[in-house]
Structure 1
Amino acid sequence: MTRRGWWLLLPWLAAMSQAQPQPPVQQEVSLLLAEVAASGCEFYRNGGWYDAAAAARHLRDKFQYLQARRPLKRTEDFIEQAASRSSFSGNAYRVRCPGQATVASRQWLLARLARLRGG
């Protein structure tokens, strides 16, 4: 390929590198959302408590929205930007699991992520 041909490919390559979620992030977020859905916990957002399945759906929607706008580089970015607080009200999300104290969703999700990573 000529030098000129490479220059023509650069914008396409840049777009393709940003168009798809980074595989480790996609995989970790999917596993994390499966943990949310199976947790049996309740999740508080915008004045109400929601069951685990509803929380997982909501967080999945937020993840997909963020990925469409600007792919995330780290799972922690998802937790910070989408799963810790309401983008509408700015209020923190909370998690209430049976027999445990209510905690900030950020804390709960980071602990689950560490466990998923083997930590």
Structure 2
Amino acid sequence: MPHQRYPWTQALAAAFLLCSLAAGAQTASSDTSTTEREIHALFQALQQSGCEFARNGQWYSASEASAHLQRKYSYLQKRALAPTAEDFIARAASQSSMSGKPYLVRCPGQPEVRSQPWFESQLAKVRAAQ
């Protein structure tokens, strides 16, 4: 029997498996922390923007919008539905999950725009600053 002839092969295979799992967990953990940092930077950008945020036809302050989106993000996190900042933008920050209507952003001195391209632009700025 080969495993009796080379008893160290089983130990080596187990060690390799553990190292592979640990490396995968570390990568997933760093991806998660990068995603969380980016999403929190988006919340901060919104709060500091001085913009207003429309949801289902009503305008809200940036801090109210940020609080609402943080609740939506929490919901998505619990279900592992926002593994990237792009997923967060698409699933939480682009449209109402109740009505399906797109969210809008209105910043001082600028026309209102849909929130998805606004957040995508903010994400590009966050990434460029890293």
Q: Does 1:61 align with 2:84?
A: no
TM-aligned CA deviation for residue 71 of structure 1: 4.6
Q: Give the letter aligned to residue 124 of structure 2.
A: A
Question: Could you list the runs of 5+ residues in structure 2 that have no partner in the other structure?
Answer: 1-10, 22-26
Match of 1:81 in 2: 91
- Whether 2:119 is the aligned partner of 1:106: answer no
Say whether the 8 Å CA contact 2:104–2:112 is kept in structure 1.
yes
RMSD: 2.8
8 Å CA contact retained: 1:22, 1:72? no
Shift of residue 101 of structure 1? 1.0
**1:31 alignment partner in structure 2:** 41
What is the aligned partner in structure 1 of residue 50 from structure 2?
40
Q: Which runs of 4+ in 1 moved over 4 A?
A: none
* Unpaired runs of at least 5, structure 1: 11-16
Give the match for residue 82 of structure 2.
72
Share of identical aligned residues, percent? Answer: 44
- State the shift of 1:69 in Å: 1.1
Which digits, 9 at most, give the CA deviation of each residue in 1:50-105, with x for residues without a partner? 00000000011100110001252210000000000000000000000000011000
- SS of alignment partner, residue 99 of structure 1: coil
**Structure 2 equivalent of residue 13 of structure 1:** none
Contact kept? 1:22, 1:71, Cα under 8 Å: no
Higher relative contact order at CA 8 Å, sep ≥6: structure 1 or structure 2? 1
Structure number with greater Rg is: 2
Supply the AA of the counterpart residue of 1:83: A
Aligned residues: 114
